[in-house]
């Protein structure tokens, strides 16, 4: 089968033919139809310090996908050939303290497809049935981005949203999803900031009531004014940019909540007393998707028609055009970029 492979401990990815996998006990074989391209794939392609410490080539990359079940391993029940599915890409141990207390998203033994084992930028992938979710009418191009969309659902829905003002800091694809989810979940006002006008336009399309160009406007003052002098009830930090992190803390109201998803490159100096403690705020670190609460909430929002992520999808490429897909992500102007494998 055709796949995108990280072959060597050096920059670059290869499009090549690799053996088609066989489903083992409790696993299914899925023919991939759509796959989402993510910043993580860019790190792996560029072979940055994180990739150098984590990836063991050769490996098939890609972790966001949806497709059709075409083979069942031994002992698989409850799934059938022909079903359209997506999957949680974090394969967890099921026996650590976190897994046994309903917190598998922070399992200490997590292995991620396309990072720690073969991934989804291929014609076929094998997944354990525990991780497979049926699409039930959700199109595969939407199913393929339920992993990053799930990060946004996790970020937004673990805060109290109905009747709240929400400030989304950073309008990459996950930030844009967060804007639409916050509106769908009953936020009264959603404010979004970014430095890129194209991304701000996407946030507006997803329902942002107010957008702030952080390169030109006073972000904190605008949020305070737009929230009757209080600050936002909930701030979702989706950028990881140090200046934006300080804006997040300065824009949240006293006693508010800051959801942290964006990953800063290095250390960020924080004034704990003034930015966090004296404001009485709550911080929540977002990693992955709650298994499987986030997935069920997301399926219901999608199937119920309350939330449609498709305006955020700006580019589609065939599998072999991975380099073009990565370069539109590098440009910073793209929304969500997906690969079509059919």
The minimum distance between CB 99 and Zn ion, in angstroms, equals: 3
Taking the complex as a whole, how short is the minimal distance between the CB of residue 100 and Zn ion, in angstroms?
A: 8
- Rounded alpha-carbon distances, angstroms, from residue 107 to 61, 90, 93, 203, 205: 21, 9, 7, 32, 36
Distance CA 187, CA 203 (A): 15
Spell out the alpha helix ranges (H) of the chain: 39-46, 49-54, 97-100, 140-143, 146-157, 173-184, 197-205, 219-226, 242-251, 293-303, 322-331
Considering 22, 34, 43, 158, which one is annotated as catalytic? 43
- Least distance in Å: CB of 92 to Zn ion? 5
Nearer to Zn ion, 110 or 140 (CB): 110
Q: Which is nearer to Zn ion, 107 or 159 (CB)?
A: 107
* 43 in active site: yes
The reply on whether position 79 binds Zn ion by CB under 5 A is: no
For residues 330 and 168, the answer to whether their CB atoms sit within 8 Å is: no
Place of tokens 């055009």: 321
302 binds Zn ion (CB under 5 A): no
Interface size with Zn ion, residues (CB under 5 A)? 6
Cβ 108 to Zn ion shortest distance, Å: 6
Cβ proximity to Zn ion: between 98 and 209 the closer is 98
- The yes or no reply on residue 99 touching Zn ion (CB under 5 A) is yes
Query: Which candidate, 122, 23, 45, 28, places its Cα nearest to that of 81?
Result: 28
Other CB atoms within 10 A of residue 145 CB = 29
- Residue 92 makes contact with Zn ion by CB under 5 A: yes
Binding segment toward Zn ion, per CB under 5 A, in 10-18, 95-103, 218-226, 309-317: 95-103
The Cα–Cα gap between 220 and 231 comes to: 8
Contact between 210 and Zn ion per CB under 5 A: no
The residue within the footprint of Zn ion, chosen from 1, 31, 72, 96 (CB under 5 A), is 96
- DSSP, residue by residue, 280-316: T-EEEE--S--TTHHHHHHHHHHHTTS---GGGEEEE
107 binds Zn ion (CB under 5 A): yes
Considering only CA atoms, give the Rg of the chain.
20
- Tokens 């072979």 appear where? 47
> Do 253 and 230 meet the contact criterion of CB atoms below 8 Å apart?
yes
Window contacting Zn ion (CB under 5 A); options: 67-75, 89-97, 272-280, 312-320: 89-97
Task: Tell me the closest approach of the beta carbon of residue 101 to Zn ion, in angstroms.
Answer: 10
Q: Is 40 a catalytic residue?
A: yes
Within 8 A by CB and 6+ apart from 278, the residues are: none
Q: Among 1, 79, 93, 224, which residue interacts with Zn ion (rule: CB under 5 A)?
A: 93
Query: Should residue 91 be labelled a site residue for Zn ion when binding is judged by CB under 5 A?
Result: no
Which of 131/222 has CB closer to Zn ion?
Answer: 131
Measured from the CB of residue 116, what is the shortest distance to Zn ion in angstroms?
Answer: 14
Which is the catalytic residue, given 34, 40, 165, 294?
Answer: 40
Residue 11 vs 94, nearer CB to Zn ion? 94
d(CA 338, CA 173): 12
- Point out the residue whose Cβ comes nearest to Zn ion: 107
Residue 229, SS3 per DSSP: coil
Nearer to Zn ion by C-beta: 93 or 283?
A: 93
Q: Would you name the residues annotated as active-site residues? A: 40, 43
Residues making contact with Zn ion (CB under 5 A): 92-93, 96, 99, 107, 109
């Amino acid at each position: 089968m055709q796949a995108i492979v990280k072959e060597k401990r050096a920059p670059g990815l290869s499009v090549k033919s690799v053996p088609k996998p066989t489903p083992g006990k409790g696993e299914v074989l899925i023919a991939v139809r759509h796959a989402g391209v993510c910043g993580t794939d860019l790190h792996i392609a560029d072979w940055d310090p994180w990739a150098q410490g984590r990836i063991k080539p050769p490996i098939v990359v890609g972790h966001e996908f949806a497709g059709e079940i075409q083979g069942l391993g031994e002992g698989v029940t409850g799934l059938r050939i022909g079903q359209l599915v997506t999957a949680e890409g974090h394969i967890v141990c099921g026996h650590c303290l976190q897994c046994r207390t309903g917190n598998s998203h922070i399992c200490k033994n997590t292995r991620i497809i396309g990072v720690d084992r073969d991934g989804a930028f291929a014609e076929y992938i094998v997944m354990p049935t525990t991780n497979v979710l049926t699409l039930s009418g959700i199109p595969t191009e939407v199913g393929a981005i339920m992993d990053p969309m799930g990060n946004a659902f996790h970020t937004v829905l673990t805060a109290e949203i109905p009747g709240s003002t929400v400030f989304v800091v950073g309008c990459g694809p996950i930030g844009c999803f967060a804007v639409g989810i916050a509106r769908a979940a009953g936020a009264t006002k959603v404010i979004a900031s970014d430095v890129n006008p194209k991304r701000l336009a996407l946030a507006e399309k997803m329902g942002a009531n107010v957008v702030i160009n952080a390169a030109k406007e006073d972000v904190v003052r605008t949020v305070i004014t737009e929230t009757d002098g209080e600050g936002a009830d909930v701030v979702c930090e989706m950028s990881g940019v140090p200046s934006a992190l300080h804006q997040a803390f300065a824009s949240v109201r006293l006693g508010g909540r800051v959801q942290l998803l964006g990953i800063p490159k290095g250390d960020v100096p924080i004034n704990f007393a003034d930015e966090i403690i004296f404001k009485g705020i709550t911080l929540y670190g977002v990693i992955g998707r709650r298994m499987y609460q986030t997935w069920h909430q997301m399926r219901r929002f999608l199937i119920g028609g309350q939330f449609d992520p498709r305006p955020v999808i700006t580019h589609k490429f065939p599998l072999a055009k991975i380099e073009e897909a990565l370069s539109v992500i590098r440009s910073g102007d793209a929304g969500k970029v997906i690969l079509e494998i059919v």
